């Protein structure tokens, strides 16, 4: 696919680029600070668009001018607790969504395939009709983003939300394309709830759901690179992905003994 990558100079986006290149995608970077792009990154990019992630017109024009059929949104950082005074993280998300909608409506044709960063608390808990975030009140800005994306017409945006837990780099240096040990084969995925989540301790009166969430959540930390290879692999499926319209949770596979 031809992917517009937002946040290409950030912690997630800078490692998404090697994964996308590894899987044969054509990547256009949309960045605020092009000087942060290394020569190695520039060498593999189809183009670099300089602009703000809160500029809807510029984002829409970037999608249309480069005929992008996909977007990977990794720009901005959500607040762990509470909400930022400026509301920038939610503004960026809303602007990216609006730009995709307008670009698709102007261009017509198939929906734009999109992966957007979200947070682990937005996955379903073991308690029906409750998010993990109802018991682990972290990264609350993701709630507004989830509510917004769920209102969108799937004919405009074929979206997936990567509900990430703590992620740590497998390699300190970024290699392009990503090395073979950075692979979707290292993770398991599920839609809307964490893979292999159990109902442990949820039966305990009053505090059971909290014990359940806090007891299991730490087991969902991942590398940075393996989930991004999963996303790059999923982009290859285009609009046929089973994760369209889903919140996606990932977990590292246990190493073979």
- The confidence band for 101, taking pLDDT boundaries of 50, 70 and 90, is very high
Is the pLDDT reported for residue 25 higher than 80?
yes
The total number of structural domains in the chain stands at 1
The whole-number pLDDT of residue 257 equals: 53
* Residue at 238 is within a domain: yes
Q: Read off the CATH number of the domain in which 152 is found.
A: 3.40.50.720
Please say if the pLDDT value at position 231 is more than 60.
yes
pTM: 0.95
In a domain, residue 107? The reply is yes
Does any domain span residue 257? no
**Share above pLDDT 90 across residues of the chain, in percent, rounded to a whole number:** 93
Residue 51 covered by a domain = yes
Both tokens assigned to 52: 């703000």
The range of the structural domain enclosing residue 185 comes to 2-194+221-252
The reply to whether omega before 177 is within 30° of 0 (cis) is yes
Task: Check if the beta carbon of residue 221 is closer than 8 Å to that of residue 99.
Answer: no
């Amino acid at each position: 696919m031809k992917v517009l990558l937002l946040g290409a100079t950030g912690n997630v986006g800078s490692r998404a680029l090697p994964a996308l290149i590894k899987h044969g995608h054509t990547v256009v970077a949309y960045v605020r600070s092009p000087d942060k792009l290394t020569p190695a990154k520039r060498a593999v990019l189809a183009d670099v668009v300089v602009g703000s992630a809160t500029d809807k017109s510029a984002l829409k024009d970037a999608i249309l001018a480069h005929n992008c059929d996909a977007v990977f949104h990794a720009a901005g950082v959500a607040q762990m607790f509470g909400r930022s005074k400026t509301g920038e993280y939610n503004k960026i998300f809303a602007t990216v969504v609006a730009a995709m909608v307008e670009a698709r409506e102007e261009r017509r044709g198939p929906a734009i395939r999109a992966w957007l960063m979200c947070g682990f608390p937005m996955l379903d808990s073991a308690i029906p009709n409750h998010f993990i975030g109802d018991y682990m009140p972290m990264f609350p800005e993701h709630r507004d983003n989830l509510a917004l994306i769920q209102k969108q017409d799937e004919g405009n945006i074929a979206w997936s939300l990567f509900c990430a837990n703590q992620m740590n780099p497998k390699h300190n240096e970024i290699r392009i394309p990503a090395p073979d040990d950075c692979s979707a084969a290292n993770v398991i995925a599920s839609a809307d709830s964490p893979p292999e989540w159990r109902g442990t301790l949820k039966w305990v009166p009053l505090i059971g759901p909290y014990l359940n969430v806090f007891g299991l959540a730490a087991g969902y930390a991942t590398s940075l690179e393996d989930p991004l290879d999963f996303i790059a692999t999923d982009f290859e499926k285009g609009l046929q992905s089973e994760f369209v319209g889903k919140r996606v949770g990932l977990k590292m596979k246990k190493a073979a003994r």
